[in-house]
Amino acid sequence: MDSLFALDRMAAIADVYSDSADILSVGRVIHGKENIRVYWDMLQGNGVSWDHVIEELHVQDDRAIQSGTSELHYRSGDDTLV
């Protein structure tokens, strides 16, 4: 995911999520792959930096469940938001 972010391939990041995945973002839940795709599409061309810490990672067969803390910096107009 870090490599994809560095290459500004936000749609490819969205592809790693399952259909029932959740992202917790600024007090809201983004549920489902399509909504997650919209979230990452918003960042296309606007991502500045992304720092994250994986606190737990469970892998079973072809599925990984990751939880942790993420800090995403992105441009919105002339401002950089976190």
Using an 8 Å Cβ cutoff, are 51 and 64 in contact? no
The DSSP H or E segment spanning 58 is: strand 47-60
Q: Considering the entire predicted model, what is its pTM?
A: 0.79
What is the spatial distance between Cα 63 and Cα 8, in angstroms, rounded to a whole number?
Answer: 24
Cβ neighbours, 10 Å, residue 2? 10
Q: What is the pLDDT of residue 49?
A: 92
Along the 82 residues of the chain, how does pLDDT read in single tens digits?
A: 889 999 999 999 999 998 999 988 878 999 999 999 999 998 899 888 999 899 999 998 988 888 888 898 989 889 998 8
